[in-house]
A and B are shown apart, each in its own frame.
Chain A
Amino acid sequence: MAVVEKPGSGSDLSTIINDERYRAIFYQILVFGIVGWVFYSLVDNTLTNMANQGKAAGFDFLLGTAGFSIAWTPLDYKPDDSYLFVYWVGIVNTLLISGIAIVLTTILGFVVGILRLSKNWLISQMAAWYVEVLRNTPLLLQIIFWYLGAFANLPRPKQSIELLGIDWLVLNNRGLYFPNAEFGDLFWMTAIAFVIGIAGAIWLNRKATERQLATGVYEPTLVKTLGAIVGFPLVVFLVTGMPLSWELPVLKGFNYQGGTFILPAMCSVLVALVIYHSSFVAEMVRAGILSVSHGQTEAAYSLGIKPSWTMRLVIIPQAMRAIIPPMISLWMNVVKNSSLAIAIGFPDLVSVFMQTSLNQSGHAIEIVAMVMLFYMTVSLTISGCLNIYNKKIQLRER
């Protein structure tokens, strides 16, 4: 193509063929046509097959009675509720288990990540092997291991294991029993006091920072912060006459009565999810802290900032920038991986809706679409938050 053709010098057809814009349009039409044809034939086949089987597509079945019971849910579900309510139960169970797992896995992961960076050789090696072993075995295997290895062999209620030696925190083959909080009439005042306390603490810290920026005087705010967040609600709580009581689980006959419990299967899923993902968090934390160049530490020291402040004010804020984006996608993975609970019978969304309800009602397409819609909503929400965060830290950079 050494000779550049002037417009109009060649034939019209070759100009069109060689013009990138027309070629782009042609390719797009081609691809769209192929994909469209594939879709059309899939839909066509589906409709024929469904007509042959005498099935009708539609979401009417959602209002029909589900008719099966669900082993565990915090909601008030009865077998004669509708499929729509089953969907809701599944969503709540999934979000609950992944929410708890996310909090615990983040804490445990941070601890292991910091141990991994310990100057003590033995500790850092142990943390490294913890990470390697857990990262390199499948999660499903770990869930089954925790279930069959630990939580399926628990004793009967009469021989329950009392955790920490407390008789209202027990573990047996029916599950983990713990007290249930019963809120009194005036508990809402304590809750409001707590919210006010947090707002107050934020305000106090802001003012302290402003004063430090203006005058250079550093003023510790820890006591005031604690006072605002813990002390104030506590005072309100005591003044309103302690409107909170605990309903303890008590052994009556063959089982515990009162209190709340979670299934052994749920315990295994939680333990497995937390431990498995904590190894990933540990690696992120380690990589994040190591990504802050050593020059930052040296610069801080040469300015006379003491080591503990250097860590808190110089290293951690910069490390967070590298830790948080992968952390958020890990949280998304926790939500997705909680669906493996199906293997040991914990009733999460996939188990109650995609397996039981689907097998019973036979509405495959609608149910698969609804389950996927839920996971997509969660993941789009999370990645939306991630994008906002990324924009924010980008602005701070320059």
Chain B
Amino acid sequence: MSDAPTTSDGLRVFKPKPSLPPPPATTGVIGWMRFNLFDGIGSSITTVIGLLLLGFLAISFYEWAFVRGVWEAASRQECRLSPTEFGTCWAGVEFWFTRFIYGRYPDAEIWRLDLMAIVFIAWMAPLWAPKVTAKVMVGLSAILVFPFMAGYFFLGGDRNWFMAIMVAVSMTWFAGTMIHVAACLLTGKGLGHWIITLSGFSSRDDRTHKYPLLMAAVVAFGIVYFVIQSWQLPIVGTNHWGGLFLTLVISGIGIASALPAGIVLALGRRSEMPVIRVMCVTFIELFRSVPLITILFMATTMFPLFLPEGVVFNKLASAIVAVCLFSAAYMAETVRGGLQAIPKGQYEAAEAMGLGYWQSMGLIIMPQALKLMIPNIVGSFIGLFKDTTLVSIIGLFDLLGMISAISQDPQWIGLHHEPLFTAALIYFIGCLAMSKYSQHLERKLGAGDRR
């Protein structure tokens, strides 16, 4: 102790020895493994069993998919006789892959589907760009206006007066949205601002600003309408639709119609007017308590009876109506759950502010409720995306329907496992992406509630 440092007046100073490093077995990879994998005998045994199981699964999968995988063959027979016996016939999946995605859509017309996919992505993508203004307008138009253009591109053929107008509106709107987005990204000001500025209305009264906007819209619409007047696409009947494309069409329409219908039904169910409440409850309970397949059968067998003579409803349309009815009922319950979670004080506060029913719903209740509902809404979207497979039972060729179609193709007869695996992978990736995104959104929106 004699060598301990002292101050000038002879007092010893406390100087701790440097602290020892933590025991090697508690830090780093080894420490982590000891704590999480080999924490006691029981834990070690389960880890070993788990590893063995995992290894077995990985090796069998590797052997099935890669060791025995045959990537080039003209028929299933060739796969089977390939160097490795009972080869896994990826060649068939490769050969049919376009069919899995587009169904029996003519090869020469597939660009139409690709184009619409690109248009839709371009229309929705600005919603994630922070600089873009008027996002509500962009998003709503993507859901309400886009379907007319897409519908025409998918189906082709003659346009009646209504479709002619709507397709032109849709195209004009898309062009306007794209210019608006470009203007926002480049100059920070939207299309509306530039039209007003360039037309010289910016110095006038605010109330006159709508005139140049309206004028521009009408002129643009007129130009588009006359340019595309004689333009026509060859007709592709719905019997050619199929694959992932059809799955997305059915679930897309189901999802887009479910939310508004669900909100209306949920509000109706909570309404104080007995007639409306009873009707909404009956509808919701009826469609929620029966399986989707019975609704689909009902649609295919009973809709033809319901319709007046001469009106023919094809199978796809019946299936879409059935899916919409079904998803609306489920969405209504999701929305109701969200509405119930809003404290009564919020309703009372809205009433105290003098807001009417629709104002208090639209400005106070719904924005809060929708935020709470996001996980469940995405959950029902995922459910609907998966449930769309049921249309293959009533004879539509969605992704799963195409999977069974390949096994009846003479060349690839009996090919089941590889296409099924491919389809499972497609569904899995789609659903997982949706659920992970919803979790991300939930965290982002819930940031205000966290302490």
Interface residues of A (CB under 8 A from B): 1, 24, 27-28, 31-32, 35, 41-42, 45-46, 48-50, 52, 118-123, 126, 132-133, 135-141, 144-145, 148-149, 332, 336-337, 339-340, 342-343, 350, 354-355, 358, 364-365, 368, 371-372, 375-376, 378-380
Whether A120 and B54, one on each chain, are in contact in the complex, defined by CB atoms closer than 8 angstroms, is no
Chain B residues numbered 285-300 whose CB sits less than 8 Å from any CB in chain A = 285-286, 288-291, 293-294, 297-298
Chain B residues numbered 209-229 whose CB sits less than 8 Å from any CB in chain A = none
Contact of B80 with A by CB under 8 A: no
Chain B residues numbered 127-155 whose CB sits less than 8 Å from any CB in chain A = none
Give the residue of A42, A336, A350 whose beta carbon is less than 8 angstroms from that of B297: A350
Number of interface residues of B (CB under 8 A): 54
Complex: how many Å from CA A35 to CA B404?
Answer: 41
Query: Which residue of chain B is the closest to A143 with respect to CB atoms?
Result: B389
Whether B302 and A48, one on each chain, are in contact in the complex, defined by CB atoms closer than 8 angstroms, is no
Task: Indicate with 1 or 0, residue by residue over B281-322, a CB within 8 angstroms of chain A CB atoms.
Answer: 000011011110110011001101111110000000000000
Whether A375 and B293, one on each chain, are in contact in the complex, defined by CB atoms closer than 8 angstroms, is no
Known contacts A28-B275, A32-B275, A138 near B309 by CB under 8 Å:
no
Complex: how many Å from CA A22 to CA B291?
Answer: 40
New A-B pairs, 5, CB < 8 Å, besides A50-B305, A140-B393, A376-B290: A1-B354, A137-B386, A340-B393, A368-B301, A368-B302
Contact of B60 with A by CB under 8 A: no
Contact of B78 with A by CB under 8 A: no
Whether A136 and B50, one on each chain, are in contact in the complex, defined by CB atoms closer than 8 angstroms, is no
Chain B min CB distance to A384 (Å): 12
5 smallest beta-carbon distances between A and B, as pairs:
A379-B289, A136-B431, A121-B36, A138-B386, A28-B275
Task: Indicate with 1 or 0, residue by residue over B161-195, a CB within 8 angstroms of chain A CB atoms.
Answer: 00000000000000000000000000000000000
Contacts of A339 in B (CB 8 A): 291, 293-294
Most buried by B among A46, A141, A350: A141
Whether B293 and A350, one on each chain, are in contact in the complex, defined by CB atoms closer than 8 angstroms, is yes
Whether B389 and A141, one on each chain, are in contact in the complex, defined by CB atoms closer than 8 angstroms, is yes
Whether A120 and B36, one on each chain, are in contact in the complex, defined by CB atoms closer than 8 angstroms, is yes
Most buried by B among A41, A123, A137, A342: A137
Whether A120 and B305, one on each chain, are in contact in the complex, defined by CB atoms closer than 8 angstroms, is no
Whether B427 and A28, one on each chain, are in contact in the complex, defined by CB atoms closer than 8 angstroms, is no
Whether B286 and A140, one on each chain, are in contact in the complex, defined by CB atoms closer than 8 angstroms, is no
Whether A141 and B424, one on each chain, are in contact in the complex, defined by CB atoms closer than 8 angstroms, is yes
Known contacts A149-B417, A376-B290, A137 near B305 by CB under 8 Å:
no
Whether A358 and B301, one on each chain, are in contact in the complex, defined by CB atoms closer than 8 angstroms, is yes
Contact of B342 with A by CB under 8 A: no
Contacts of A342 in B (CB 8 A): 293, 393
Contacts of A343 in B (CB 8 A): 392-393
Complex: how many Å from CA A122 to CA B37?
Answer: 7
Contacts of A122 in B (CB 8 A): 36-37, 46-47, 50-51, 54
Contacts of B424 in A (CB 8 A): 137, 141, 145
Task: Indicate with 1 or 0, residue by residue over B376-392, a CB within 8 angstroms of chain A CB atoms.
Answer: 00000010001101101
Complex: how many Å from CA A139 to CA B389?
Answer: 9
How many A-B contacts are there with CB distance less than 8 Å? 156
Query: Which residue of chain A is the closest to B424 with respect to CB atoms?
Result: A137
Most buried by B among A120, A133, A343: A120
Contacts of A375 in B (CB 8 A): 289-291, 294
Whether B420 and A123, one on each chain, are in contact in the complex, defined by CB atoms closer than 8 angstroms, is no
Whether B400 and A119, one on each chain, are in contact in the complex, defined by CB atoms closer than 8 angstroms, is no
Contacts of B435 in A (CB 8 A): 136
- Some 26 contacts from A to B, beta carbons below 8 A apart, are A28-B276, A32-B279, A45-B305, A45-B306, A48-B308, A49-B309, A119-B36, A120-B36, A120-B46, A126-B54, A137-B424, A141-B389, A141-B400, A144-B404, A148-B417, A336-B291, A339-B291, A340-B291, A350-B291, A354-B294, A354-B297, A355-B297, A365-B302, A368-B298, A375-B290, A380-B285
Give the residue of B37, B272, B305, B309 whose beta carbon is less than 8 angstroms from that of A364: B305
Contacts of A372 in B (CB 8 A): 286, 290, 294, 298
Contacts of B393 in A (CB 8 A): 140, 340, 342-343
Complex: how many Å from CA A136 to CA B383?
Answer: 9
Contacts of A118 in B (CB 8 A): 46
Most buried by A among B272, B279, B390: B390
Whether B51 and A340, one on each chain, are in contact in the complex, defined by CB atoms closer than 8 angstroms, is no
Complex: how many Å from CA A212 to CA B287?
Answer: 50
Chain A min CB distance to B320 (Å): 18
Chain B min CB distance to A144 (Å): 7
Contact of B351 with A by CB under 8 A: no
Contact of B196 with A by CB under 8 A: no
Chain A min CB distance to B424 (Å): 5
Whether A31 and B301, one on each chain, are in contact in the complex, defined by CB atoms closer than 8 angstroms, is no
Complex: how many Å from CA A283 to CA B7?
Answer: 65
Contacts of A145 in B (CB 8 A): 420, 424
Contacts of B392 in A (CB 8 A): 140, 343
Give the residue of B390, B400, B404, B416 whose beta carbon is less than 8 angstroms from that of A149: B416
Contacts of A378 in B (CB 8 A): 289
Complex: how many Å from CA A148 to CA B424?
Answer: 14
Contact of B423 with A by CB under 8 A: yes
Contacts of B290 in A (CB 8 A): 336, 371-372, 375-376, 379
Chain A min CB distance to B380 (Å): 13
Complex: how many Å from CA A132 to CA B424?
Answer: 12
Contacts of B293 in A (CB 8 A): 339-340, 342, 350
Chain B min CB distance to A122 (Å): 5
